[in-house]
Chains A and B, each alone.
Chain A
Amino acid sequence: MKRLIILNTLRKYLLDLRLVISLLVIIILISLSGLYYSHEINQRQRVYNRLNTLARDESSIESIEYVKKPAKLIFLSEGGEKGLPDVFRITPFVVEEEYKKIDALSYLKDIIQPDWTFIVGVFISLLALLLTYSEISGERESGILALTISNPVRKSDLLLGKYISAVVFLSVLLLMGLMIDVLILRIIGNVYLGISDFYKILIIFILSVLFISLISLMGIFCSVLFKSSSISLLFALLIWIAFIFVIPNLSFIAGEYVRPAPSPIVLEENIRIANDQFRGRISISDSLLEPIVNKPIPDEQKRILVEQLQKEIYEKHFSVRNERLQAEAKVKRDFQNKIKEQIRLKFLLAKISPFFLYQNLCEMTGSTGYAHQALLQRLAENIKEQFQPVALAQQKQYLIKESDESPSGFAWLGKSRLNDLLPKEPGAYAQGEILDIKTMLNILAEDGAFVIKKLSAYSDLSDIKLEEGQFKIPDEPETGIPVNFGDYLWGIFYMIMLNIIFFLISFVLFIRYDPRF
């Protein structure tokens, strides 16, 4: 009996003109999306190659750049890849995300990604609602339902039959769409997919079926709940609008409201405050030299002591510099964490909507979108940990060597012509009597004064290239399983639970239905 109901319903679907038209529309949309992405994937690969060579050229002992690999499965769920930063700038202390690609610059406001999840979430789900909204209420209106129930048909069979036929019909459509998508990419875009990609596509197919079955159940639920088809349709459409528009958008602004995004202006201010703490600690004065110079020992020994003092001061200044950068990095990390918290909250709230949840799960499966970005952030943190000792050793060598030539400040004690040369009055610099530091140091050396120098603070470390073999940026690992496996499983569990709940509710409602009323 169940088989008969399923076959009947399927035949009804296939003979309906509306469905044929919507099928055509959907297939055209999928092909267009395939064409768009076959261009897009190759374009992104090119951009990546260029950025990668640029990044390799630019890696210095100050910072290295790590470029995000473009994902192949963006045609399934793009997850806002265009709006995400694509380069991680890694300094020994902090990882910063940067927009470098031309893509980000040509990212127009309000653009949607015509990917698979969009077509499924908006169009196929609408089709699912249109298929199911009048399943029961339509038959109730035309009186067929009473006739059917007068036969020895179990109500559960009837409901299950309707549900199964809708899901089977839509699954065939989904399978066809996926195949068209992959074929277009393979033939027109020359995009080669590996075995693991096909596993992922299979998982995304299963997720799509789960999502579509949930939407069909919502349609059936509405049609059981209401006596008239038009009201059932209205409710089904309301649910649809709530899923794709109201819930995600409201939860995004709610996320912004609850956890406000930090301001770059405040960040600048905080960095300045963090730097100010160290201002006094890297100054030098001649009072440091006084105890040595005043000792009753020969000048030769004094010089050795001064050299030792100079080394100590260099060490101290280098560590203070690192502390300062560390403090600055902490401010920046706090800033980044606030943004991350906000995004996490937004996603958590938006996942109430099965549409958003479905998109999110597909992003996790296809390793695209923000979920993937979070993984790469962690990876970049690891790279930073490895980079830190190498870079700091290099920087120390370089900075201390460099400062011999032109320190940013120095102090001296002893008789020197420099005392007479330097202007006494504050306004005197205007007449162009400024001596540059090198000449000053030369004069001091000729006069035999004792000098201690400050660590050069303004030297441009980004010009010093990192030598090959000193540090190699590890490759991005092939992501087999989704990033946040717990989240992923919870998402699937939530989706399945919603399916079961809606089925049970509509089942209970339908069991209680009495044809006499």
Chain B
Amino acid sequence: MWLIIKKRILLNIFSLRFIILTILLVACISIGTLVLLGRYQMEKELYEAAEDRAATVRFYARMYGQLHLHLNRPVEQLSLISTGYTDEFGSSIKIPGQFAGRMSISKYSSHYSLSPLFGYLDLGKIIAVLISFIAIIITYDSITGQKEDRTLSLCFSHSLARYKVILGEFFGSILTLIIPLLMSFIILELILVSSRKIDLNVEDFLRLNFSFLLSVVFISVFALLGVSISSLFHSSANSLALLLLLWIVLLLIIPNFSSYIAERYHPIPEIEQPIMGETGEKPSANLWDMLYINEKVQQYNIRDSLSFLSPFMAYQSGLESLSNTSLPSYLKFIRQAQNLNETFALWQAEKLKKDPRRLTTWSTGDEPLDTSGIPQVEYKKSSLLASLSESLKGLVILISWNVILLLLSLYNFNRYDLR
């Protein structure tokens, strides 16, 4: 078996297609990292501007109605890996002083939801699309190629267990695939370490390395898919055609189909009037009410519950959890804001007991606002352990894909008749 693994690795490494694809992947990763770092820095500046504004608002507040709290979520450093849901609803929550309980959410930057075919791009997507493609391209002829040039019958004339052939091809392919993956992660980490725009700590690197492990499980699904389809067919061309079709179905069709199901299964109730802010001013276009966020979250939950259908979706959700940009971490942020809202309202009521007029009026000669004991605005990131246990779901789905495909290919290959 070791011989088969070694043979497969050597064959793959020195094949032109592998070299070209690896170069493409590495080039895409390095360009993508540099460009995304630029975008990260822009978003970070916007976050800092939001923080500054919050401080200004607090500094100039002369009455309690003017004293708003802003809970701004810092831009996640690993949103480079997976953008996730942070950009979806907005990450700056304003808790107004006058109408307590009426939080409003806005995004740091605004753009249309126009997007090309694969949506908002991040490194996780580049890796997922390209490495799965590499996996398909190097495995589609792993068995059929041997059938075509008749080396398989020669192999079987020796005393060689059939499962060893499949396992050998499989491990050989995975070990080859780890090379471009490792290269892209090393380049990514090198760029991140040397860049001044980003400042990663130990925990972030742990998260990155766990993402690498998740990626290994992810590519093994595609390597197994390639090997099992290849063992099913007699001609390489047929196996490649089916694999490409499956690839498109898993990458594009199923995620969209599950979104479609989620939309149909849980339609957002129609509301006749546009939602009005309490102050009477209409909310701006990118402002999402809490009600809608709740509805949307339910839709996303339905969609995520279908993620077992495609390894891409499972991988994406795992990466999102590891980069702390997943839906649960967003909901955590919202909950923090809600808690802050409650404590802020209590605090304000306490202060207003002394001087009820200061809610909306102010006259020259008044003392500055008494802000002692104001609730601390601080965003708490979820811990590494929580993220890990969150990403477990995606990992389990990927592992079960692995097991099922492995069993299928072993069963199939055992039934194969040389004649």
Contacts and interface: CB of A to CB of B under 8 A. Distances in A.
Contact of A244 (B36, B117, B286): B117
Contacts of B38: 257
A342 B109 CA distance: 13
B299 A426 contact: no
Contact of B116 (A25, A122, A249): A249
Interface residues of A, number: 72
Contacts of A261: 109-111
Contacts of A244: 117
B53 A426 contact: no
A83 B112 contact: yes
Interface residues of B, number: 82
Interface in B22-46: 24, 28, 31-32, 35-36, 38-39, 42, 46
A263 B49 contact: yes
Interface stretch (B153-161, B241-249, B371-379, B391-399): B241-249
Interface in B53-109: 53, 85, 88, 92, 106-109
A337 B118 CA distance: 26
A231 interface: yes
Contacts of A268: 53
A97 B114 CA distance: 15
Given A105-B268, A111-B256, A241-B133, A265 B108 contact: yes
Given A122-B252, A263-B49, A339-B112, A234 B357 contact: no
A108 B260 CA distance: 9
A244, A245, A266, A339 interface centre (most CB from chain B within 10 Å): A245
Interface string A244-279: 111011101110110011111110110000000000
A130 B272 CA distance: 50
A358 interface: no
A265 B113 CA distance: 19
Contacts of A22: 241, 245
Contacts of B85: 109
B210 interface: no
A135 B92 CA distance: 57
Given A241-B133, A265-B108, A339-B112, A123 B248 contact: yes
Given A109-B88, A261-B109, A265-B53, A250 B32 contact: yes
A264 B35 contact: no
Given A50-B272, A430-B356, 20 more contacts: A18-B238, A22-B245, A25-B245, A54-B272, A54-B273, A102-B270, A110-B115, A110-B118, A111-B256, A112-B117, A237-B133, A244-B117, A249-B117, A250-B121, A253-B36, A263-B108, A265-B50, A265-B53, A426-B363, A426-B366
Interface of A: 18, 22, 25, 36, 50, 54, 80, 82-85, 96-100, 102, 105-112, 114, 118, 122-123, 126, 130, 230-231, 233-234, 237-238, 241, 244-246, 248-250, 252-254, 256-257, 260-266, 268-269, 339, 342-343, 346, 350, 356, 370, 425-427, 429-430, 434, 460
19 contacts: A80-B112, A82-B113, A83-B112, A97-B285, A102-B271, A108-B299, A109-B85, A230-B141, A241-B130, A241-B133, A244-B117, A249-B125, A250-B32, A253-B32, A260-B109, A261-B109, A261-B110, A262-B109, A265-B53
